[in-house]
Amino acid sequence: MSIWSPLRGHAEQKEMFRRTIRRNRLSQAYLFVGPSGIGKRKFAQLLAHALLCQNPGEDPLEACGQCAGCKPFLAGAHPDFLAVGCPEGKRELPIALLLGPEERRGQEGLCHDLSLAPLPGSRKVAIVDDADTMNDASANAFLKTLEEPPERAILILIASNLDALLSTIRSRCQLVRFSPLETEDIRAMLIEQQLAQSDDDVNFAAALSEGSLTTATQLLEPELRELRTLLYRQLAQVSFSGLGLAKSLLEGIGKISSETSVQRINAQWLIRFLVEFFRMAVWQIGQGPTESVPFSAEVSQFVNRLMTQSDDVEVVGGLIERCVEAAVHVDQNVAVPLVLESLCQDLSRLLRLAAPTH
Ligand SMILES: [Zn+2]
């Protein structure tokens, strides 16, 4: 079995490394860039494994799993494999991970460990995940290692935001761009890793994930999922109190986090949920009821109750436009309660005008 089977996508990047290793043309420093949650770190780890295998097969990206390189690597204890990243909950990659704690600066940490000679027949491979969270002091210190990388060492930096990296760091690495995953891959991963509770959840989270498993997983967090259910049930009724709905939504995102920045992100998700719902409704108006659409029961109910004399698609188009406007307001830092209250009230009013009998 291939060591690469847990990874989906990124065939082009694999092929590039396969060719490079065959030609013995590996660079000393790579910079992996692409959205978060698409498998860049997994890719780097598998590449490191392949590079540390002392008995690779015909495909240089495969590892034997048995040799003096593979066994310690698989046990998470290969002395020539180094990896650091931004710890969970922190905003910056701590300089101590690169240079050692203050009292032992330069005597510990990734840069120091990298300068030690590898085991015979081996090379050093270091992964610096979240490289875009290094502050200037860390980045400048790290630059010294990049400028004069130790012999037989390969550095892999990983970042999702290229602009947040010092240009001096960028220019010393070979850039490898990673693209978002296919929706189909996300769907398969959600099922394989049992991250979703229903087919609707799988399809919905995959469709909104923008090719990132991290995003798909966030969308399935219970609190956000609950809010989406609440929202869709209300919409299915067509007639609802705008203020009442806004109040429930605001309470919901307030419970998830009291931080304004997180509330903004979640407000944007709620607006995306609305847009998705209306898009599914437009689809259903055009195609008739279909089970391929997630939440088809709620969407069908909405479409059936709407039945306006005017053009339904036009009505729903107007609702989508109003949602897009609200998303812009959130981006422009308008207070979240204000945006959601006026959005819910407008949606309720537009629906009342379109379907006056309800
Ligand atoms: Zn091996």
Dist. CA 84 → ligand 1 center (Å): 23
pLDDT at 288 over 80: no
Average pLDDT value over all residues in the chain: 91
Dist. CA 318 → ligand 1 center (Å): 60
Looking at residue 308, its pLDDT comes to: 63
Dist. CA 121 → ligand 1 center (Å): 12
pTM of the model as a whole: 0.80
Dist. CA 129 → ligand 1 center (Å): 24
Dist. CA 300 → ligand 1 center (Å): 56
Dist. CA 75 → ligand 1 center (Å): 13
Dist. CA 69 → ligand 1 center (Å): 5
- pLDDT band of residue 128 (cuts 50, 70, 90) is very high
pLDDT at 310 over 80: no
In this structure, how many other beta carbons lie within 10 angstroms of the beta carbon of residue 77?
9
Looking at residue 356, its pLDDT comes to: 63
Residue type, 353: L
pLDDT at 291 over 70: no
Dist. CA 57 → ligand 1 center (Å): 9
Phi, psi (degrees; rounded to nearest 5) at 154: -125, 125
Domain covering 11-177 in this structure, CATH number: 3.40.50.300
More confident residue, 266 or 353: 266
Dist. CA 326 → ligand 1 center (Å): 55
Residues 6+ apart with CB under 8 A from 296: 280, 284, 289, 290
Virtual torsion, Cα 342, 347, 350, 355, nearest 10 deg: -150
Q: pLDDT digits over 198-224, tens only? A: 888 999 899 889 899 989 998 898 999
Dist. CA 109 → ligand 1 center (Å): 26
Dist. CA 33 → ligand 1 center (Å): 28
Dist. CA 290 → ligand 1 center (Å): 50
- pLDDT band of residue 357 (cuts 50, 70, 90) is low
Dist. CA 155 → ligand 1 center (Å): 20
Dist. CA 335 → ligand 1 center (Å): 56
For range 272-291, the mean pLDDT: 85
Dist. CA 301 → ligand 1 center (Å): 58
Looking at residue 88, its pLDDT comes to: 85
DSSP 175: E
Q: pLDDT digits over 313-354, tens only? A: 888 999 999 999 999 999 999 999 999 999 999 999 999 888
Dist. CA 73 → ligand 1 center (Å): 9
For range 142-164, the mean pLDDT: 92
HEC secondary structure over 80-97: CEEEECCCCCCCCCCHHH
Dist. CA 53 → ligand 1 center (Å): 4
Dist. CA 173 → ligand 1 center (Å): 27
- pLDDT band of residue 76 (cuts 50, 70, 90) is very high
Lowest mean pLDDT among 78-92, 247-261, 303-317, 343-357: 303-317
Structural contact between residues 57 and 67, judged by C-beta atoms closer than 8 angstroms: no
- pLDDT band of residue 31 (cuts 50, 70, 90) is very high
More confident residue, 133 or 284: 133
Dist. CA 20 → ligand 1 center (Å): 19
Residues 6+ apart with CB under 8 A from 83: 45, 126, 127, 128, 129
Looking at residue 266, its pLDDT comes to: 94
Q: Which residue pairs from 60-67 have beta carbons closer than 8 angstroms and sit at least 24 positions apart in sequence?
A: 60/18, 60/21, 60/22, 61/3, 61/4, 61/14, 61/17, 61/18, 61/21, 62/2, 62/3, 62/4, 63/3, 65/3
The domain segmentation of the chain, as residue ranges, is 11-177, 221-354
Q: Which two tokens mark 348? A: 């309720």
More confident residue, 5 or 295: 5
For range 297-312, the mean pLDDT: 80
Dist. CA 65 → ligand 1 center (Å): 5
Looking at residue 289, its pLDDT comes to: 67
